């Protein structure tokens, strides 16, 4: 028997405990009411937190749904390493899906542009995988604080059989009650971390000692400056432009999207306390490092309607 915690009962929960509890409630609700849920696992910090919460929610049972990684083939190597470590856990089933059409077309962000690459490898790939496996609910790690247009997002977001989001037909979410009923063929995207902020995520990672990709910690890494972003040079997947010479800089990532669409920041924060301290005085929002958000300000909205997470 595991040892009991101290008997002194607190009178109220801390905000992290309440967030944790709310997320667990959401995860359980979906498992209780949906037929084939899946958790989208993108290997980033939000996915790491979401996975950790899921293990808590269903303990001591093993995870009652698989993880799905929609692989764009342009993730950092350290991300693949962490993913493979997670997949080795006997309690976890991980499905990796790569859009075969994208592979056939040798899709990459350099020749095709960031948005086409994301659309084919991520958005189309995701739809393929959801259809192939017949998943009727998919957990995603998006948070409302990420971006202005997400502030009004529901926790349960309904999609029709074509994966389209109908913004005119959203359901009000009252108390802890979620209406999960749907027509055959429809599916739900569920965001258990909706009420978390970036700071909450970091504090929780620290409190719970959650494994994350080392790229979040500052280290000397080779980079080039391109279009105002610091792009890490990892391997031959990043073709250098004329005159570009990689330099060693002390950098880290606040968000890990697709390599090389994600920019790094210069930082000395090589531990969680330092990252959190940096966060507390941070002056840039995290999405600022993502090339995809620079395209157009309403772009998120449009992507969502098309089925991007």
Partner 1 sequence: MAAAPSDRDDFIAAQSDKELLRFITCGSVDDGKSSLIGRLLYESRALFEDQLATLASDSRRVGTQGENLDFALLLDGLSAEREQGITIDVSYRYFSTERRKFIVADTPGHEQYTRNMVTGASTADAAVILIDARRGVLPQTHRHSTIASLLGIRHVVVAVNKMDLVDEAENTFRAIESEFRQFADQLDFDDIEFIPVSALRGDNVVDPSSTMPWYRGPTLLGFLENVPIDEQRRTDEPLRMPVQWVNRPDQSFRGYAGTLASGSVRVGERVRVQPSARESTVARIVSFDGDLATAIAGQSITLTLADEIDISRGDIISAANDPAEVADQFDATLVWMDANALLPGRPYLMKIGSATINANVGELKYKLQVDTLEHLAAKTLELNEIGSVNLSLDQAIAFDAYARNRETGGFILIDRISNATVAAGMLNFALRRASNIHLQALDVDQSARSALMGHKPCVLWFTGLSGAGKSTIANAVEKLLLARGCHTYLLDGDNVRHGLNRNLGFTDADRVENIRRVAEVARLMADAGLMTLVSFISPFRQDRANARDIIDSDDFIEVFVDTSLAIAEQRDVKGLYKKARAGELKNFTGIDSPYERPEHADIRIDTESLDVDAAARQIISVMQQRGLFD
When the beta carbons of 250 and 274 are compared against partner 1, the nearer one is: 274
Name the residue with tokens 């040892």: 3
Question: Cβ 123 to partner 1, closest distance in Å?
Answer: 20
Beta-bridged to residue 213, according to DSSP, are none
Question: 289 with 253: CB under 8 angstroms?
Answer: yes
When the beta carbons of 107 and 264 are compared against partner 1, the nearer one is: 264
Which backbone phi and psi does 10 adopt, to 5 degrees? -70, 155
CA dist 235 to 195, 199, 232, 240, Å? 37, 31, 9, 10
When the beta carbons of 22 and 234 are compared against partner 1, the nearer one is: 22
Taking the mean position of all CA atoms in its chain, how far away is CA 163?
Answer: 19
Question: Cβ 205 to partner 1, closest distance in Å?
Answer: 11
Question: Cβ 12 to partner 1, closest distance in Å?
Answer: 4
Question: Cβ 131 to partner 1, closest distance in Å?
Answer: 21
Question: 204 with 165: CB under 8 angstroms?
Answer: no
When the beta carbons of 54 and 138 are compared against partner 1, the nearer one is: 54
Question: Cβ 216 to partner 1, closest distance in Å?
Answer: 13
When the beta carbons of 21 and 128 are compared against partner 1, the nearer one is: 21
Quote the CA–CA distance of 58 and 77 in Å, as a whole number: 30
Cβ-based neighbour number of residue 86 at 10 Å = 18
Quote the CA–CA distance of 141 and 309 in Å, as a whole number: 9
């Amino acid at each position: 028997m595991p040892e009991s915690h101290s008997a002194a009962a607190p009178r109220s929960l801390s905000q992290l405990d309440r967030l944790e509890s709310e997320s667990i409630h959401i995860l359980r609700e979906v498992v209780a009411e949906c037929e084939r849920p899946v958790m989208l696992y993108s290997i980033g910090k939000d996915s790491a937190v979401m996975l950790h919460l899921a293990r808590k929610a269903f303990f001591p049972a093993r995870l009652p749904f698989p993880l799905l990684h929609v692989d764009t083939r342009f993730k950092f190597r350290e991300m693949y390493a962490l993913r493979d470590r997670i997949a080795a856990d006997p309690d976890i089933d991980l499905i990796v899906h790569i859009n075969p059409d994208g592979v056939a077309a040798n899709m990459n962000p350099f020749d095709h542009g960031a948005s086409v690459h994301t659309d084919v490898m991520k958005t189309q790939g995701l739809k393929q995988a959801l259809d192939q496996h017949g998943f009727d609910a998919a957990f995603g790690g998006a948070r409302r604080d990420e971006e202005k247009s997400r502030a009004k997002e529901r926790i349960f977001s309904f999609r029709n059989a074509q994966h389209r989001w109908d913004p005119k037909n959203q359901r009000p979410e009252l108390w802890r009650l979620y209406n999960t009923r749907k027509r055959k063929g429809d599916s739900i995207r569920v965001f258990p971390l909706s009420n978390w902020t970036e700071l909450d995520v970091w504090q929780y990672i620290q409190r719970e000692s959650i494994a994350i990709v080392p790229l979040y910690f500052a280290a000397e890494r080779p980079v080039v400056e391109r279009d105002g972003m610091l792009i890490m040079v990892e391997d031959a997947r990043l073709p250098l432009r004329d005159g570009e010479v990689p330099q060693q800089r002390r950098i880290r990532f606040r968000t890990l999207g697709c390599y090389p669409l994600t920019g790094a920041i210069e930082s000395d924060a090589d531990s969680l306390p330092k990252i959190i301290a940096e966060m507390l005085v941070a002056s840039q929002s995290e999405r600022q490092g993502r090339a995809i958000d620079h395209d157009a300000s309403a772009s998120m909205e449009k992507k969502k309607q098309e089925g991007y997470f």
